[in-house]
Amino acid sequence: MSNQEAVPAGQHRTVLLEEAVDALAIEGARADGVYVDGTFGRGGHSRLLLQRLGPRGRLIAFDKDPQAIATAQEVKDARFEIVHDSFATMAQALSARGVTQVDGVLLDLGISSPQVDDPARGFSFRHDGPLDMRMDTTRGLSAAEWLATETVENIGKVIRDYGEERFAFQIAKAIAARRAVEPISTTRQLADLVAGAVKTREKNKDPATRTFQAVRIHINQELEALEIGLDAAVERLAMHGRLAVISFHSLEDRIVKRFLAARATVQQPDRRLPIRAADLPQPDLKLISKMKPSDAEIAANPRARSAIMRVAERIGARANGGAR
């Protein structure tokens, strides 16, 4: 499809497709390097990465979603491997494969259109379905199971912290009152319950938006995985290797922004101390760019409107060194 065509429901349009792959600067000798796609999804970035890689290049992709794994297994390319796990396991997975450094890491955060549009997954309040919300449906508690057993205080804290919802504790109390009468097992039940507890509504935003986001983030431990994955990515990057991260809401982007800024600066010693310039501490990263989707991309795919991509390059020597 051209960039001007709208995306039908259930189909996934990869956000910042060309821009993200361009950001990894796959050229020259680097085309035969090792790259990581931390979120395979439906494979848009991975397929374009494989087009850019040389014959000796290698791409290791991660995803928690069994449906994404099934799609990845259709990729018949000896340079490609899919790992059924979170990118938070990147360090262990790369070590198990004898990979000590990589030339680029791409993380496309959030959930895909097929996940949102499939009522059976329970991610959306727009469709009635089982209240699941797990990216990996083979493990862990579903949202319904968590809401049935968690304390009111913790439910409120999750909705407040991960949804930035000012009526979080009113919603948590409403959940507790309802579950005492009947299980909250469907997305429609939760959405209606939230609508009754939220006293004022933001313009053009469903009152359930923030609660569904919060519960999904908690169920999948998304922010914890992001922090672990960012650390692992930078520690494995080769000199001049690139890290590109696409985030879709402020909590994710705040973590990415602060992490990159911290790794791109160092505390300089007292200038009065007799230290040679060559011995001064160096930052791990150099910030390269920040980018948002174009107006044309947003028109074709409205779900791209909140995306932000941040790119950084490894400039500090890696402590663990080693060959691929």
> According to the annotation, is 45 in a ligand binding site?
yes
Beta bridge partners of 316: none
DSSP 3-state of 21:
helix
Per-residue tokens: 222: 């998304």
Spatial contact of 302 and 77, defined as CB atoms under 8 Å apart: no
Angle at CA of residue 308, ends 134 and 198, nearest 5° = 55
**Ligand-binding site membership of 122 (annotated):** no
Task: Give the C-alpha separation, 91 to 53, whole Å.
Answer: 22
Q: CB–CB of 29/96 below 8 Å? A: no
* β-strand partners of 83: 62
Residue 115 labelled as part of a binding site: yes
63 assigned to a ligand binding site: yes
* Residue in 30, 4, 3 with CA at minimum distance from that of residue 242: 30
**Separation CA 50–CA 46 (nearest Å):** 6
Q: Is 213 annotated as a binding residue?
A: no
108: annotated binding-site residue? yes
Q: Work out the number of other CB atoms within 10 angstroms of the CB of residue 210.
A: 24
Q: Are 191 and 206 in contact (CB under 8 A)?
A: yes
270 annotated among ligand-binding-site residues: no
Q: Would you list which residues are annotated within the binding site for S-adenosyl-L-methionine? A: 43-45, 63, 87, 108, 115
Q: Would you list which residues are annotated within the binding site? A: 43-45, 63, 87, 108, 115
